[in-house]
Homo-oligomer: A and B are copies of this chain.
Amino acid sequence: MRLRLTPRDPSYFDLFAAQASYLVVGANLLAEILGADRATRKDINRRMAEAEHAADDATHTIMRRLNQTFVTPFDRDDIYNLASSLDDCMDFMDEAADLIVLYKVDELPARVSDQVQVLQRAAELTAEAMPRLRSMDSLQEYWVEVNRLENQADKTHRKLLAQMFDEITDPILLLKLKEIVEKLEDAADAFEKVANSIETIALKES
């Protein structure tokens, strides 16, 4: 069964809101996967793939419409950038979940949960902000907060890296974990890019 969060004849606003809703689903599945056993992880990963496909459909609908219509609520480039960076958030979270299953990593360092919690919060804020794009209402607090979260994610990431290189002596395990935590950091960066796109749109409208 496919998730469906978008109405039949959706507007750009509906489609952005749908993209962002899938991010909340994705971030929560990431949190779930951390504590799960191997068998359950595979199942969670399948649900993640479903969310990623659904988000991808919303992205394609935006891009197709952008190429076929003249009138857009914001600059075409800004719509393109916003849709792309929302899509990137999902892709990086999906890739992280995928690698956890693919690399059969049994236990993840505790700080990975901190990384994922930041992603969950960023996803919620993003999903809450999207409906406000119509009215441009109180968007500044959203982008300021996501920038703050990204800074926090960055610090956690650096501490985690230092700790991993200090404590893990198996180079192959280190290689696996490094790639996973980097995907999570990439996801945090992508959420910041979403916030920057929103800031650009809001500044132009003001």
- Give me the interface of A with B, judged by CB distance under 8 Å: 63-64, 67-68, 98, 102-103, 158, 161-162, 165, 169, 171-172, 174-176, 178, 200, 203-204, 206
Contacts and interface: CB of A to CB of B under 8 A. Distances in A.
B67 A203 contact: yes
Contact of A175 (B68, B169, B174): B174
A204 B169 CA distance: 54
Q: Taking chain A's interface residues, is the majority helix, strand, or loop, or is none over half, making it mixed?
A: helix
Contact of A102 (B63, B67, B158, B169): B158
Nearest to A77: B77
Contacts of A200: 63, 67
Contacts of A158: 98, 102
A41 to B, nearest CB: 14
Nearest to A159: B102
Tallying the copies of this chain within the complex gives: 3
Contacts of A169: 172
B171 A165 contact: no
B162 A102 contact: yes
21 contacts: A63-B200, A64-B203, A67-B200, A67-B203, A67-B204, A68-B203, A68-B204, A68-B206, A102-B158, A102-B161, A102-B162, A102-B165, A103-B165, A165-B172, A165-B176, A171-B171, A171-B172, A171-B175, A174-B175, A175-B175, A175-B178
A48 B47 CA distance: 42
List the 9 closest pairs (A to B, CB-CB), nearest first.
Answer: A171-B171, A67-B203, A102-B162, A171-B172, A67-B204, A67-B200, A103-B165, A68-B203, A102-B158
Contacts of A68: 203-204, 206
